[in-house]
């Protein structure tokens, strides 16, 4: 019999960066219902399948880690919290004292609150004494930060999700929006229904192709050639916004020289997209009054990730499509708080609010606030930490909160060797994962339903996360971090997460006007520089964050690994609508597993025929780094020569195959293009 739950708590979905609000119904300290929050500023009463179904089952799943575990003689044994935290503090202190502060590192979590991320980086900097701290943006959207900052001076989304519906043209590139960010996908579909013209650039026939006026079916890793080709057309046909270029930008002439070399015919040769389609897309985008770019990891997870994003900034500035409503460049963030993890300084080069660690004035401000001396050189990125470990150098002790690099980082065999090489690994998690297998100590983590704090979604909106039930492991995540710091001799202590936010706003000018008391209802979009500031829906109005916008010329560069007779197909990877990241949560929902129970490799009918592979047949997929067995799905979604796998399943470790080659600026790996062969078993 249906009954209204004892209480309902409004909070934010723990999955993707759209930031939908949901209401958790609670009875006897158990979540008994989940419903969309009609007041949610982004979702307005909608949730996708992941947010709507199964979260109650996941939060209370019997696999939850609720007791600390210590590895003894190769086996995990249950321990008290006191015992586990004493060991963590002692071993980290010993390693720091014997080998120096940079022998330690921390990987913070894009699934955790802003306050928890702030404390992890504070633990690394003020207690460990190192800038070796990072978060999973490194393997997804770090190029958005470096690329957009190079163009505009700020590395975040320029506009708001609500403005999507009023754009005249939406250019969706490298984003399978309806699957990876379904509620934003609905906004794109609603816009299309109202007459907005859609351009899709994607190597797969994603769902939005059916809504598109033009589909630019490019080869993986050729985004720059495509965009330079479009900009060549715009300039040749005089469709650029000369006034915007003259009054608001710099670097145009140098940029133009490079773009002049990318005729649509040359771009067509590199990308595989017919020149006529490149011309049509260019005219469509440049002729719109309001054109908005939506992109995601199809742009960033390449060795040219930063250059790809810069190219989008160039296109927006060339046509004056930035600094106004319903224009701009919108990176869609993967994990729910990947924006916040970066904002909070869980980065090796920046303190909270993107204040460089190399700036002496910034450093002395934090030294005074925290009462310690701070390191002046940028630390290692997460990819560099693992790379150096694999080479037998670098860090010796690592604290990982809520991330699973042993499944989600590329070239998994190498990641496993790196984790094995650590002297001491602490993983704080809600479920056993591939990474917890390598831990020396596993600490219980609190799930989103057990947390108080804030998340920041992909449009820079800081929203309150409200605790629905007490932490199943006994402590909130921020309390655990404080205890580690205290046991290492540093007085880290707060009454509650609102005090942590107060410290954040006192130290970071872009959050100076943010406090829990102002975050009811709609939340606040940063920058929010004072307590009477309403937050920022649209950035770069009248002036870019860096003053003038900067055109940066970029040249096409092929993927690090190209196909050859031994490995003739390109593998590109991504997400399924039903699953989240490493799948440690969604694979524990019976309902979600009923809808999408197993991984399949998607290959085109033409490739399947060449290989003699039937739909549903198990195949062996090999790259130069590893192999997996998986069922084949023969589908028109895949173009000839391009195969697709998600990375949600531990029994099909897709990242055994992927390439760890890095973007030289953002140090983000190239998940979106590696060479494979598919064989009958
Ligand atoms: Fe919204 Fe993303 Fe959660 Fe789906 S997964 S409900 S789109 S926040």
Tell whether 172 is covered by a domain. Answer: yes
Mean pLDDT of 9-36: 95
pLDDT in tens, 190-249: 999 999 999 999 999 999 999 999 999 999 999 999 999 999 999 999 999 999 999 999
| Start-to-end CA span in the chain (Å) | 51
Compute the distance between CA of residue 576 and CA of residue 48 in angstroms, rounded to an integer: 12
Tally of domains within the chain: 4
pLDDT for position 663: 94
- 147, 266: one domain: yes
Compute the distance between CA of residue 664 and CA of residue 667 in angstroms, rounded to an integer: 5
Instruction: Give the mean pLDDT of the chain.
Output: 95
Q: What are phi and psi of 13, to 5 degrees?
A: -55, 140
- 473, 584: one domain: no
To test the pocket of ligand 1, the residue of 22, 37, 43 to mutate (highest count of ligand atoms within 8 Å of its CB) is 43
Tell whether 544 is covered by a domain. Answer: no
Tell whether 410 is covered by a domain. Answer: yes
- Tell me if 263 sits within 8 A of 232, measured CB to CB: yes
Mean pLDDT of 255-277: 98
pLDDT for position 449: 96
Q: Looking at residue 156, which CATH number applies to its domain?
A: 3.40.228.10
Question: 144 C-alpha vs ligand 1 centroid, how far in Å?
Answer: 21
- 314, 434: one domain: no
Compute the distance between CA of residue 497 and CA of residue 503 in angstroms, rounded to an integer: 10
- The Cα diameter of the chain in Å comes to 72
- Tell me if 657 sits within 8 A of 412, measured CB to CB: no
CA 260 to chain CA centroid, Å, is 33
Question: 459 C-alpha vs ligand 1 centroid, how far in Å?
Answer: 14
Question: 681 C-alpha vs ligand 1 centroid, how far in Å?
Answer: 37
Which atom of ligand 1 lies closest to the CA of 19?
Answer: 8
Mark which of 524, 559, 580 sits at the end of a domain: 524
Tokens for 679, please give them.
Answer: 């064989």
Q: What contacts 644, CB < 8 A, 6 or more positions away?
A: 204, 571, 572, 573, 574, 601, 602, 637, 638
Compute the distance between CA of residue 422 and CA of residue 97 in angstroms, rounded to an integer: 16
Mean pLDDT of 457-468: 97
Tell whether 536 is covered by a domain. Answer: no
Instruction: Say what percent of the chain tops pLDDT 90.
Output: 92
Instruction: Say what percent of the chain tops pLDDT 70.
Output: 100
Q: SS3 for 352?
A: coil
- pTM of the predicted structure, to 2 decimals: 0.95
pLDDT for position 2: 60
Cα distances (angstroms) measured from residue 485 to each of 212, 482, 523: 53, 5, 30
- 37, 91: one domain: no
Q: What contacts 62, CB < 8 A, 6 or more positions away?
A: none
Compute the distance between CA of residue 142 and CA of residue 513 in angstroms, rounded to an integer: 26
Place 385 in a pLDDT band, splitting at 50, 70 and 90.
very high
Ligand 1 site residues, Cβ closer than 6 angstroms: 13, 15-16, 18-20, 43, 47-48, 50-51, 181-183
Place 10 in a pLDDT band, splitting at 50, 70 and 90.
very high
- 165, 216: one domain: yes
pLDDT in tens, 329-369: 999 998 899 999 999 999 999 999 999 999 999 999 999 99
- 493, 574: one domain: no
Q: Does the structure show a pLDDT above 50 at 1?
A: no
Tell whether 564 is covered by a domain. Answer: no
Tell whether 611 is covered by a domain. Answer: yes
- 471, 346: one domain: yes
Question: 35 C-alpha vs ligand 1 centroid, how far in Å?
Answer: 12
Q: What contacts 494, CB < 8 A, 6 or more positions away?
A: 478, 482, 500, 503
- Tell me if 672 sits within 8 A of 644, measured CB to CB: no
Identify which of 378, 379, 380, 425 has the alpha carbon closest to the alpha carbon of residue 403.
425
- 258, 357: one domain: no
- 24, 52: one domain: yes
pLDDT for position 552: 97
Mark which of 466, 497, 524 sits at the end of a domain: 524
- 319, 236: one domain: yes
Tell whether 232 is covered by a domain. Answer: yes
Question: 639 C-alpha vs ligand 1 centroid, how far in Å?
Answer: 28
Nearest CA to ligand 1 atom 2: 16
Cα distances (angstroms) measured from residue 524 to each of 108, 145, 266, 336, 533: 23, 20, 45, 16, 9
Q: Looking at residue 21, which CATH number applies to its domain?
A: 2.20.25.90
pLDDT in tens, 409-454: 999 999 999 999 999 999 999 999 999 999 999 999 999 999 999 9
Tell whether 306 is covered by a domain. Answer: yes
Question: 15 C-alpha vs ligand 1 centroid, how far in Å?
Answer: 6
Which atom of ligand 1 lies closest to the CA of 12?
Answer: 8
Note down the domain range covering 389: 69-139+336-524
- 496, 357: one domain: yes
pLDDT in tens, 30-66: 999 999 999 999 999 999 999 988 888 999 999 999 9
Lowest mean pLDDT segment, chosen from 150-154, 571-575, 579-583: 579-583
Q: Looking at residue 656, which CATH number applies to its domain?
A: 2.40.40.20
pLDDT in tens, 271-294: 999 999 999 999 999 999 999 999
Mark which of 468, 491, 524 sits at the end of a domain: 524
Which atom of ligand 1 lies closest to the CA of 457?
Answer: 8
pLDDT in tens, 632-644: 999 999 999 999 9
Peptide bond just before 292 cis, omega within 30 deg: no
pLDDT in tens, 105-143: 999 999 899 999 999 999 999 999 999 999 988 988 899
Cα distances (angstroms) measured from residue 428 to each of 84, 86, 120, 433, 632: 11, 15, 12, 11, 35
Mean pLDDT of 304-309: 97
Question: 13 C-alpha vs ligand 1 centroid, how far in Å?
Answer: 6
- 352, 421: one domain: yes
Question: 129 C-alpha vs ligand 1 centroid, how far in Å?
Answer: 37
Q: Looking at residue 78, which CATH number applies to its domain?
A: 3.40.50.740
Q: Does the structure show a pLDDT above 50 at 6?
A: yes
To test the pocket of ligand 1, the residue of 15, 189, 459, 581 to mutate (highest count of ligand atoms within 8 Å of its CB) is 15
């Amino acid at each position: 019999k249906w009954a209204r739950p004892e209480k309902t708590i409004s909070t934010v979905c723990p999955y993707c960066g759209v930031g939908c609000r949901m209401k958790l119904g609670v009875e006897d300290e158990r979540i008994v219902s989940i419903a969309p929050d009609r007041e949610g500023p982004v979702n307005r009463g909608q949730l996708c399948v992941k947010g709507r179904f199964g979260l109650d089952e996941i939060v209370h799943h019997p696999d939850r880690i609720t007791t600390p575990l210590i590895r003894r003689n190769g086996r995990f044994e249950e321990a008290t919290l006191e015992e586990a935290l004493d060991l963590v503090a002692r071993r980290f202190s010993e390693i720091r004292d014997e080998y120096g502060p940079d022998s330690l590192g921390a990987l913070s979590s894009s699934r955790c609150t802003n306050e928890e991320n702030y404390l992890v980086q504070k633990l690394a900097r003020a207690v460990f004494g190192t800038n070796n701290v990072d978060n999973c943006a490194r393997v997804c959207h770090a190029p958005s930060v470096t690329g957009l900052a190079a163009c505009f001076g700020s590395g975040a989304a320029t506009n708001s999700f609500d403005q999507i519906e009023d754009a005249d043209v939406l250019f969706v590139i490298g984003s399978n929006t309806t699957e990876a960010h379904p509620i934003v996908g609905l906004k794109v579909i609603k816009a299309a229904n109202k007459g907005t013209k859609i351009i899709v650039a994607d190597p797969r026939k994603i769902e939005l192709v059916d809504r598109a006026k033009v589909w630019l079916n490019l080869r993986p890793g050729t985004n720059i050639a495509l965009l330079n080709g479009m900009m060549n057309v715009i300039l040749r046909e005089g469709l650029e916004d000369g006034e915007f270029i003259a009054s608001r930008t710099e670097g145009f002439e140098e940029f133009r020289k490079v773009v002049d070399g990318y005729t649509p015919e040359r771009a067509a040769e590199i990308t595989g997209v017919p020149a006529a389609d490149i011309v049509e897309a260019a005219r469509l985008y440049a002729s719109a009054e309001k054109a908005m770019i939506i992109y995601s990891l199809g742009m960033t997870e390449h060795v040219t990730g930063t250059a790809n994003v810069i190219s989008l900034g160039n296109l927006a500035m060339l046509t004056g499509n930035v600094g106004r409503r319903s224009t701009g460049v919108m990176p869609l963030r993967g994990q729910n708080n990947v924006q916040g993890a970066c904002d909070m300084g869980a980065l090796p080069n920046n303190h909270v609010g993107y204040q460089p660690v190399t700036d002496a004035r910034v450093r002395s401000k934090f030294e005074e606030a925290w009462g310690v001396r701070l390191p002046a050189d940028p630390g290692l990125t997460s990819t560099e930490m693992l790379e150096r470990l694999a080479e037998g150098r670098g860090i010796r002790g690592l604290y990982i909160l809520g991330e699973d690099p042993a499944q989600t980082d590329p070239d998994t065999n190498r990641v496993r060797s790196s984790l094995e090489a650590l002297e001491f690994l602490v993983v704080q998690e809600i479920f056993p994962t591939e990474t917890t297998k390598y831990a020396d100590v596993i600490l219980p983590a609190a799930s989103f339903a057990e947390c108080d704090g804030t998340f920041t979604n992909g449009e820079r909106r800081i929203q309150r996360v409200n605790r629905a039930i007490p932490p199943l492991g006994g402590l909130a995540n921020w309390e655990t971090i404080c205890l580690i710091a205290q046991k290492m001799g540093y007085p880290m202590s707060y009454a509650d997460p609102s005090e942590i936010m107060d410290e954040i706003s006192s130290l970071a000018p872009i959050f100076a006007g943010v406090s829990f008391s102002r975050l009811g209802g709609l939340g606040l979009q940063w920058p929010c520089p004072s307590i009477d500031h309403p937050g920022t829906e649209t950035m770069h109005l009248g002036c870019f964050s860096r003053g003038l916008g900067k055109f940066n010329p970029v040249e096409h560069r092929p993927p690090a690994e190209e196909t050859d007779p031994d490995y003739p197909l390109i593998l590109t990877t991504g997400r399924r609508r039903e699953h989240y990241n490493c799948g440690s949560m969604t694979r524990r929902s019976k309902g979600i597993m009923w809808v999408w129970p197993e991984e399949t490799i998607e290959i085109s009918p033409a490739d399947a025929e060449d290989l003699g592979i039937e739909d549903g047949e198990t195949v062996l997929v090999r790259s130069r780094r590893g192999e997996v067995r998986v069922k084949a799905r023969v589908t028109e979604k895949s173009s000839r020569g391009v195969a697709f796998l998600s990375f949600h399943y531990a029994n099909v470790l897709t990242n055994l195959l992927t390439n760890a080659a890095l973007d030289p600026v953002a140090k983000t790996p190239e998940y979106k293009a590696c060479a494979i062969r598919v064989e009958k078993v």
